[in-house]
Amino acid sequence: MQLVRPDTIHLASYVTALERGWSADNIRGAAAAREELARIAENPDAFLASTEDRDGKGDPIKLPDGSTVQRIPGFRRWMWADEFCGSIGFRWQPGTTALPPHCLGHIGYAVVPWKQNLGYATRALGAILPEARAVGLPFVELTTDPDNIISQRVIEANGGVLVEEFMKPAQFGGKPGLRYRIALA
């Protein structure tokens, strides 16, 4: 498995995953998948370009409660092993380690169900950390649910340390969450 920058040669496999019901958005799920499929059908080149937005100038982000917020700098990479396997995204605010309240962590990832338990998320997280270091962050934070033991293991395998239990904001359901930190220095 390798991380690839989303490109035309990978797009058909990504579309297949969305059509099979997968979405990197673990809260909005099928609705987010439909929105991405519509964006791809409308303008595949614009969709691909939107996956690399280091200036945060793209369209606003739709939150799970339907509200929208300004995009911050970020980019996505796709997990690839002869086909699309999953997605990992990194976002940050220049000059600070802080994130806006609506952004639960610097990194988020999701593996398609038919490629889970193969170590792809662990390797993808490890592979994106140098890119996070390159923007000057001393650490990254990731969040997961208390019952998501697999995600906790992925984070811990990459040096993640639990820093707090917290309540997610209302737009994310107001449920308990775990915040991990991975040192980059």
Give the DSSP per-residue string, 127-157: HHHHHHHHTT-SEEEEEE-TT-HHHHHHHHH
CB 69 within 8 A of CB 63: yes
Which sequence spans correspond to the domains of the chain? 2-137
Please give the structure tokens belonging to residue 173: 């359901």
Residue 63 neighbours by CB distance under 10 Å: 17
In angstroms, how far is CA 61 from the centroid of its own chain?
13
CATH number for the domain whose boundaries are 2-137? 3.40.630
Handedness of CA 170, 175, 176, 178 (dihedral sign): negative
pLDDT by 10s per residue, the chain, length 185: 999 999 999 999 999 999 999 999 887 788 889 999 999 999 999 999 999 999 999 888 877 777 888 999 999 999 999 999 999 999 999 999 999 988 899 999 999 999 999 999 999 999 999 999 999 999 999 999 999 999 999 999 999 999 999 999 887 788 999 999 999 98
Can you give the pTM of this predicted structure?
Answer: 0.93
